[in-house]
Amino acid sequence: MSRPSRSRSSGSPGRLALAVALALAAAGLAGAAGCDSPEELLDVQVGQSSRGSVVVRIEREDARVTGLLLPPEVLRPNEQAYVAARVDCDGVAYLRLLPELRVSYRAETQQLRISPVLARLGQRDIDVGQTLVPAPYPVVPAFGVDFGVQAAATYDLRGERAPDQPAAALGTLGGYVGVGGGLGNATGYVGAVASRRPGEDTRVQLRATAQYAVSPSFAVYAAYHGAPGVTQPGFSTSSFSGVTATYRRVVPAVAPPTALQLENPSVITVVVNGQRLGSVEAPAGEVTLRNIPLPRQARNTLQFLIEDENGVTPRTLENVAPSAASLSGGLLASLSAGYSDDAGSAGWSGAGSVAYSLTPSVAVQAQGSVSGSGAFSAGAQVSVAGSPVSGGLGVQVARAAPAEDSRPAPLDTRVSGTLGYSRGPLGLSGAVQVPVADLPNSTLSLRATYNAAPWAFSAGASSALKPDTWQIDGGVSRVINDRSSVNLSGTARPGGWSAALRGSYVFTPRLQGSAGISVGPGVASPSVALNYRPDPSQSLSLSADLSEVGVSYALSRGIDASVSANTRGASAQVTGAVAYLDGRLLLSAGLAQRGVLVRTGVPGLALTVNGLGGVVTNAQGDALITQITPAQAVSLRVNPRDLPLGVSIGSVEAEVLPAATGLTVVDWRDNFKVSTFVRLRWTPTEVAAGADLYLDGEKILLDDEGYGLVPRAGAARTGELRDPAGTRRCLLTLAPGAEEGVCASVPQTP
């Protein structure tokens, strides 16, 4: 049998041509060129990077490239993955590219552009969790003297006193003074509090507290006549003396993995909420940045400044929340033991608690206490903060101290649970508490809400498992416009009912008022209230109903002061401290043995702290936050609507984890851009009406009187003043704090 010939196995000439065409198509257009292809001198660009003018062998149909051979020097060492084959043309080396790389040709510029396929350059993960740790906030020593005075008086302006009663009398009087501070890992406080009630002798109690931070996670407290863990007791008194230890483990919050496409080796600078964390070097290709540190808040701004041979390219991601995995594993534990010298309940006691977050939505906690009298309590809870369903389950066991006849008190065991459902405007919730040994006293409560702006509805019911313990309530409110709203509510229970109608109106941003009427069986009581806030540090309130008229005033400016009065009595209180903080003497609302000093550079700025009350910055734009509990993070937020004229803001919120001791200084000044009106002139007698000022890379528009909002600066700056019509321009210099600016020379026509 003869051997089959090669020509027959290769098929007919038509089939061979088809096979070659298919092979070339499969190899891509760049693979069709050969050593016989024409040579052209072209400007080659790979992605955004120019590789210069080189001689290539190219096959094209007009602007369409059908084949290409490149000199080896066009590709960089890290781009060798783009090479499909190496071709030798009479001793001259060329490269044939992979078919997936797209090649385009521009005849008018004699340019050849190759679009890279970054996946071919490899994929790399960069863990920045260790290298880009945010710089810790500086902690400085803090010392000072705190003080407080409060007084009350009663009188009769309504003619209701009995004949044998005095027309006026002093009520409870009180005051405290102490000295304390923080240095290094330790804080201390020594002081006294005095109080006198009507008809009683003055009581004076000495007290002292101390704290030592063994590590950033572990701290020990000691107190003499002080509540466990409280370093600045104020007016409060305590019979407890003992020690408290706390342990805190916080898992750093990080951003979800972020993928970046890099055409060239780059230096990536990471900026979080305006704070530069640092830079990392990355190769070309697909790069994933992992474990970028974030504050534990829902909305963060991530910015990447990608610098390569072509310059700096920014990329910004808004509303970035920490990854779910990084919000798990947090642990907080405390243990205290001590002695109480209270005459009614003297003896030793101990207590402990622990809380652990299993996942971002599931947390468990347990607590217990025991005393030398024989009383004890213990409990455990698990909570699930899910969506749309949330809930919790807990058990509590307690026993009171034995009775005088030494018989043990009964054990009280209670099981409690909550369940909630929320989807869109609808919210449903329920709670139950069951005392195991007394089932008739079990309670059940249900509530439903529906919020569909401008309307809001609510209804609830609760009852124990025995007669005449039920109660139902309901309410409806409507926002009429951005100034006014109205609310109607009612409650019914065995033997009675009540209802109330109330409306509120915002006269100005500083003045608000409300009026309403409450009714019940045979009773109708109208009331009115006004609240005036001339600035964020002051509040004046007036209220009146059929039985009383009252007025109150509060001031928070360096110190906290308040006074209130009605037709039956008055009270006043002042608290504050003279503190030496960061090299300066400040008048503040309290000592900062453990606190946060926030520097904004904006005087009179209201800051909301932990979503509740707030502080107002002083004349230097600083605010001091004290009375921070152990392991507590401080959340700061600014309402953009409260910003003074000429102030803009980068991030509206920030979260700070203060040091265990001392004063944590947060320099937030770069987050605020403060501008003032400056009047500019072409000549000393001619204002630059409607002109444009170009300053520090920013275009500032001037009004018809030559005024413009110019950002403040600590040094002199030179800008250019231009007529929008292009008829003239000039250079001018603005000194720090300048209110006017004049061209340095006669304006020139371009």
The mean of the pLDDT values for the chain is 85
Structure-token pair, residue 380: 């455990």
CATH of the domain at 262: 2.60.40.3110
Q: Are residues 679 and 725 in the same domain?
A: yes
CATH of the domain at 619: 2.60.40.2610
User: Is there a contact between 195 and 558 (Cβ–Cβ < 8 Å)?
Assistant: no
- Name the residue range of residue 47's domain: 32-121
CA-nearest of 195, 189, 237, 245 to 220 is: 245
Q: Are residues 344 and 425 in the same domain?
A: yes
Residue 22 domain-assigned (yes or no): no
Residue 478 domain-assigned (yes or no): no
Q: Are residues 637 and 683 in the same domain?
A: no
Task: Please give the full DSSP string across 352-375, using - where no structure is assigned.
Answer: EEEEEESSSSEEEEEEEEEETTS-
598 alpha carbon, distance to own chain's centre: 14
Say how many CA atoms lie within 13 Å of 348 toward its Cβ.
7
Q: How many helices (H) and strands (E) does the chain have?
A: 2, 56
494-497's contacts with Cβ under 8 Å and 24+ in sequence apart are 494/468, 494/469, 494/470, 495/468, 496/520, 496/521, 497/521
pLDDT of residue 749: 61
DSSP secondary-structure letter at 611?
Answer: T
Q: Are residues 600 and 664 in the same domain?
A: yes
How many whole angstroms separate alpha carbon 593 and alpha carbon 618?
20
How far separated are the first and last CA of the chain, in Å rounded?
A: 95
Q: Are residues 668 and 681 in the same domain?
A: no
25, pLDDT greater than 60? no
CA-nearest of 710, 711, 715, 720 to 736 is: 715
Residue type, 529: A
Q: Are residues 651 and 681 in the same domain?
A: no
Among 437, 459, 488, the domain-final residue is: 437
Kindly compute the dihedral angle of the four CA atoms of residues 140, 141, 143, 146, in this order, to the nearest 10 degrees.
50
Structure-token pair, residue 288: 């994933």
Q: Are residues 300 and 368 in the same domain?
A: no
Kindly compute the dihedral angle of the four CA atoms of residues 582, 588, 589, 594, in this order, to the nearest 10 degrees.
10
CATH of the domain at 79: 3.10.20
Residue 366 domain-assigned (yes or no): yes
Q: What DSSP element (H or E) covers 26? A: helix 13-27
Q: Tens of pLDDT along 381-422?
A: 999 987 789 999 999 999 988 877 667 788 999 999 999 999
DSSP-based three-state secondary structure for 230: coil
Q: Tell me the backbone φ, ψ of residue 26, rounded to 5 degrees.
A: -65, -30
Residue type, 523: V
Q: What domain count does the chain have?
A: 5
Among 105, 121, 137, the domain-final residue is: 121
Q: Tens of pLDDT along 654-687?
A: 778 787 777 888 888 888 888 888 999 999 999 9
How many whole angstroms separate alpha carbon 113 and alpha carbon 318?
33
Among 672, 696, 725, the domain-final residue is: 672
Residue 535 domain-assigned (yes or no): no
Q: Are residues 315 and 371 in the same domain?
A: no
Residue 82 domain-assigned (yes or no): yes
Q: Are residues 351 and 300 in the same domain?
A: no
DSSP-based three-state secondary structure for 413: strand
Residue 275 domain-assigned (yes or no): yes
Residue carrying the six token digits 């203060």: 658
CA-nearest of 652, 656, 605, 602 to 301 is: 652
| More confident position, 714 or 207 | 207
The angle at the Cα of 296, spanning 293 to 302, to the nearest 5 degrees, equals: 50
Mean pLDDT on 525-547: 92
Q: Are residues 388 and 426 in the same domain?
A: yes
| More confident position, 132 or 96 | 96
Q: Are residues 424 and 347 in the same domain?
A: yes
Residue 408 domain-assigned (yes or no): yes
Q: Are residues 297 and 363 in the same domain?
A: no
Q: Tens of pLDDT along 318-362?
A: 888 888 776 777 888 999 999 988 866 788 999 999 999 888 788
pLDDT range class, residue 558, cuts 50, 70, 90: confident
Structure-token pair, residue 739: 């209110």
Residue 105 domain-assigned (yes or no): yes
Residue type, 397: V
Q: Is 208 exposed, middle or buried (0-12, 13-18, 19+ CB in 10 A)?
A: middle
